[in-house]
Structure 1
Amino acid sequence: MQINPYLFYDSNCEAAFKFYERVLGGKIEMMLRNEEAPESMPSPPERKKNIMHARMSIDGQVLMASDAPPEHFHKPQGFSVSLTVGDPAEAERKFKALCEGGSVNMPFSKTFFSRGFGMVVDQFGIPWMVNCPLEGH
């Protein structure tokens, strides 16, 4: 069994995935637009370029997402996407990259449970936790 996050965006999924590809070293494996769906699944003209399904691989892990229809989009809450990074400098670099245009909830710093930990909501509204665990944990 595999558990993967599936994120819903407010019509900016493509921009978010291109950003994650650049700053997290991900690889976009699929980006299916609404206009590519069968005729039996029509979408409004203004949503034709929106993303129906996207899939990205980041260090062997899978992140999936799409643009939610406006009537179904809700601001993300009650979760965070958690990144565990073994090297403290790399963890801090990824944290700072995710901060670009976002808002920091907890600055990246050493804690009693990690060599570095921070929380941010990125510019696309997605909450992230970046953790560099203590050695041996």
Structure 2
Amino acid sequence: MATVNIYLTFNGNCREAFDFYKSVFGGEFPYIGTFGEMPPQDGKEMSQEDKDKIMHVTLPISKETMLMGSDTGGEWAASLKVGNNFSVSINADSKEEADRLFNGLSKDGAITMPLADTFWGAYFGMFTDKFGINWMVNYDDPSKTQQHP
């Protein structure tokens, strides 16, 4: 059975927001990574400001729930607005379940990132459904060791 969490998107202040959430909920970040830690993309050099932005952070807030987030930048930043700055994130138990959920929920919607194997070891994709809700579908392959966004 899949788990569901909320994924928050920020325009450069993700670290500040998650430090605040951590001060309220307590706990520790099992993973926090910056865009500067990513492999190079299309040979493009990113600014130091973008390198320091958060690519992914996770904060467990209960046994069942994690608050997750990242910053945005580049061409994505212009479309970020309060109200569309979150996604429902589903962590599937198998690649087949990820495919089923992704294909079913994205029907008649707009796929922003097709399901594919990622550099961090997950099978991951994103879309906006036909009702305007942003979704992320993720499957963590147990044979991979790195954390997922």
Report the TM-score when normalising by structure 2. 0.47
Residue number in structure 2 paired with 1:75? 81
Moved more, 33-42 or 20-29: 33-42
Deviations 1:56-83 (A, max 9, x none): 1012211111001153232221698xxx
- Find the aligned partners of 1:38 and 1:78 in 2 and give their Cα distance: 27
CA contact (8 A) 2:55 2:70 kept: yes
Alignment of 1:101-112 (within 5 A): none
**Residue identity in the other structure for 1:55:** T
- Find the aligned partners of 1:79 and 1:15 in 2 and give their Cα distance: 16
1:59 counterpart SS class: coil
- Find the aligned partners of 1:54 and 1:29 in 2 and give their Cα distance: 8
- Tell me the CA shift for residue 54 of structure 1: 0.8
Structure 2 alignment gaps of length 5 or more: 87-149
Residue number in structure 2 paired with 1:49? 52
Is 2:26 aligned against 1:21? no
Say if 1:67 and 1:25 are closer, same or farther in 2 by CA, change over 3 A. same
- Choose from 53, 62, 66 the match for 1:62: 66
**Residue identity in the other structure for 2:81:** K
Deviations 1:112-131 (A, max 9, x none): xxxxxxxxxxxxxxxxxxxx
- Tell me the CA shift for residue 40 of structure 1: 4.0
Q: What's the RMSD between the two structures over aligned residues?
A: 2.5
- Tell me the CA shift for residue 26 of structure 1: 3.9
Residue number in structure 2 paired with 1:135? none
2:16 counterpart SS class: helix
Q: Greater relative contact order: 1 or 2 (C-alpha under 8 angstroms, separation 6 or more)?
A: 2
- Find the aligned partners of 1:57 and 1:71 in 2 and give their Cα distance: 30
CA contact (8 A) 2:8 2:85 kept: no
Structure 1 alignment gaps of length 5 or more: 81-137
Highest Rg: 1 or 2?
Answer: 1
Alignment: residue pair count = 81
Say if 1:79 and 1:39 are closer, same or farther in 2 by CA, change over 3 A. closer
1:28 counterpart SS class: coil
Report the TM-score when normalising by structure 1. 0.51
- Tell me the CA shift for residue 31 of structure 1: 0.8
